[in-house]
């Protein structure tokens, strides 16, 4: 399935697409065949939704899974199952609702328009101000999930994710909300999205924020935390990311500011309101699940804290 042309994300060039697939020992023709194979597999799983609705997701999951059909099947199974059984961050995706528009005004994690030469996508996130009286982490988390979801399902094509989180407006007032929900958010999203994380850059870290960074790292796999880099200044980012990608207020050469990019993404989420509302309904039918596709969950007493998700 072709991805939708859009103005907020510059898509890979034909050469970059060839390189992305070449690195996975495949090609565009073979990817289309594999997408069809997985679509046919999904049709034979009575509990899974119609694969035609998510062929673009299958393509991106194949890239995430390094072109492994079996890993892709498991990832899709996990995504739909988590979304259905643990809907906390997957429900009520109405992008013009008061709750979500209010969350957008607090900040977002948004993709930057230009890809790296390797075909990786850089995402930048931060809080836009330090008035947190009405901050709601669940709604903020929904925005992050919605952003990844529409990129994967409709708007984007890329190899790996590079994350930048700016803590310039971080406040201790955020801690009660974050500590209450961060464990569930990290665990659920880690299961739902098999992202390939190339690097995580954290900048402008106040001393009192080290505890929350350590908490998040404790919830992630070691191989991911080893890719964290904490920077003293914004300028240091240019040693790792091409300035052509970074917005001008981060010392980059891209033509707009981070605030403008965030506003553009806010408009994109609102523009795609109908897509989000319809995608909310793309769920498993667990009553139709067969014994051969039984899923075993082992989780702590804390709701949503998954230790393991196995597919028989």
Any idea where the domains of the chain sit in the sequence? Answer: 14-89+281-311, 98-274
Percent of the chain with pLDDT over 90: 78
Pairing label, strands 295-299, 161-166: unpaired
Quote the pTM value: 0.90
Residue 300 has pLDDT above 80, yes or no: no
- CATH T-level assignment (fold) for domain 98-274: Phosphatidylinositol Transfer Protein Sec14p (3.40.525)
The pLDDT tens digits of the residues spanning 93-105 come to 999 999 999 999 9
pLDDT reported for residue 296: 55
Q: Which of 109, 133, 89 is nearest to 266 (CA)?
A: 109
Residue 169 has pLDDT above 60, yes or no: yes
pLDDT reported for residue 55: 87
pLDDT reported for residue 299: 38
């Amino acid at each position: 399935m072709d991805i939708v042309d859009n103005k907020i994300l510059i898509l890979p060039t034909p050469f970059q697409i060839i390189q992305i697939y070449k690195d996975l020992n495949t090609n565009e023709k073979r990817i289309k065949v594999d997408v069809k194979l997985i679509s046919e597999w999904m049709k034979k799983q009575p509990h899974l939704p119609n694969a035609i609705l998510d062929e673009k997701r299958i393509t991106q999951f194949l890239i995430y899974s390094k072109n492994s059909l079996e890993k892709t099947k498991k990832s899709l199974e996990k995504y739909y199952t988590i979304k259905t059984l643990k809907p906390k961050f997957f429900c009520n995706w109405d992008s013009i609702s008061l709750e979500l528009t209010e969350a957008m005004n607090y900040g977002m994690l948004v993709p930057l328009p230009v890809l790296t030469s390797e075909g990786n996508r850089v995402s930048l996130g931060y809080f836009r101000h330090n008035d947190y009286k009405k901050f709601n982490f669940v709604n903020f988390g929904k925005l992050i999930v919605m952003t990844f979801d529409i990129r994967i399902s409709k708007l984007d094509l890329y190899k790996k994710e590079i994350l930048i989180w700016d803590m310039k407006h971080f406040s201790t007032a955020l801690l009660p909300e974050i500590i209450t929900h961060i464990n569930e958010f990290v665990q659920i999203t880690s299961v739902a999205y098999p992202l390939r994380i190339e690097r995580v850059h954290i900048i402008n870290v106040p001393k009192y924020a080290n505890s929350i960074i350590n908490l998040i790292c404790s919830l992630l796999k070691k191989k991911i935390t080893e890719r964290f880099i904490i920077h003293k200044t914004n300028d240091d980012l240019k040693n790792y990311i091409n300035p052509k990608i970074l917005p001008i207020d981060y010392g980059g050469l891209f033509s707009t500011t981070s605030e403008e990019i965030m506003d553009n993404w806010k408009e994109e989420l609102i523009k795609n309101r109908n897509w989000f509302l319809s995608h909310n309904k793309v769920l498993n039918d667990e009553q139709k699940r067969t014994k051969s596709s039984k899923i075993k969950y082992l989780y702590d007493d804390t709701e949503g804290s998954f230790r393991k998700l196995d597919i028989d």
